[in-house]
Structure 1
């Protein structure tokens, strides 16, 4: 019996900090065992350079990522949708697992604050991996 990989979508407003860091952690910690998407309700032009720096400090390169506009198809194709301060802009579909992570927005924050957000996200991603990869 083939079991498909769980698909996770991380959503924040600009898709330039929190959601990109979360996707980076999940890719780093879960590898190819999870399909990973990341999007924003109002995507920025580029990823927050302080978020890039904070992730680089732990050996994760997110420089190749580009902020993406949230698409309803991304939500439809995901098993788990993690929102981070995007309010009501994320479409809701039955049968999906939704979590809202209350995290400081790294935009305009000094690197010390962004490091704290990065480390908080890592712990949340580790918990998420446990939830979505254990046998049902």
Structure 2
């Protein structure tokens, strides 16, 4: 059995975008991907609008708490997805980095955050298809 890929989602406050992305990756991967998230300046709580729009998708992120991004998290990750964290993310050779330009949901309404959530879901689905291309076709013997 091969090692599960590890994906780290990073945004400044770890309260909205990265939490939604981590929620989708956990839910859509069915445990086939190790998922972490962190922020360069973590907020005090998850954005309640992000919680609400994820609940509409059947994904519960209410128990999540913004976490400080650590160097170890980056070192342990196969893929690091940044969402506006600028130069705060340490870089290690051999780790794949992507920057997803997404609107910050802070201070936005449910109607304004839904398209951000849907954009994140699409990006997570595409990343998941890259990370686990054959998993869907595997036959148990």
TM range (shorter): over 0.9
What TM-score, normalized by structure 2, do the two folds share? 0.93
**Residues 30-80 of structure 1, C-alpha deviations (whole Å, 9 max, x = no match):** 011000000000000000000000101111100011000000000000000
Kindly name which structure, 1 or 2, has the bigger radius of gyration based on alpha carbons.
2
Deviation at 1:84, TM superposition (A): 0.1
- The runs of 4+ residues in structure 1 deviating greater than 6 Å are none
What TM-score, normalized by structure 1, do the two folds share? 0.97
Cα separation, 2, equivalents of 1:115 and 1:27 = 19
Could you say which residue in structure 2 is the equivalent of 1:68? 67
Could you say which residue in structure 1 is the equivalent of 2:9? 10
1:127 and 2:130 equivalent? no
Cα separation, 2, equivalents of 1:60 and 1:127 = 18
Could you say which residue in structure 1 is the equivalent of 2:138? none
Could you say which residue in structure 1 is the equivalent of 2:116? 117
For this pair of structures, how many residues does the alignment match?
134
Residue correspondence of structure 1 range 1-136 to structure 2 within 5 A: 2-134=1-133
Cα separation, 2, equivalents of 1:18 and 1:90 = 16
Cα separation, 2, equivalents of 1:134 and 1:91 = 28
List runs of 5+ in structure 2 lacking aligned partners.
Answer: 135-141
Cα separation, 1, equivalents of 2:114 and 2:35 = 22
Cα separation, 1, equivalents of 2:128 and 2:15 = 22
Deviation at 1:133, TM superposition (A): 1.2
Cα separation, 1, equivalents of 2:22 and 2:88 = 19
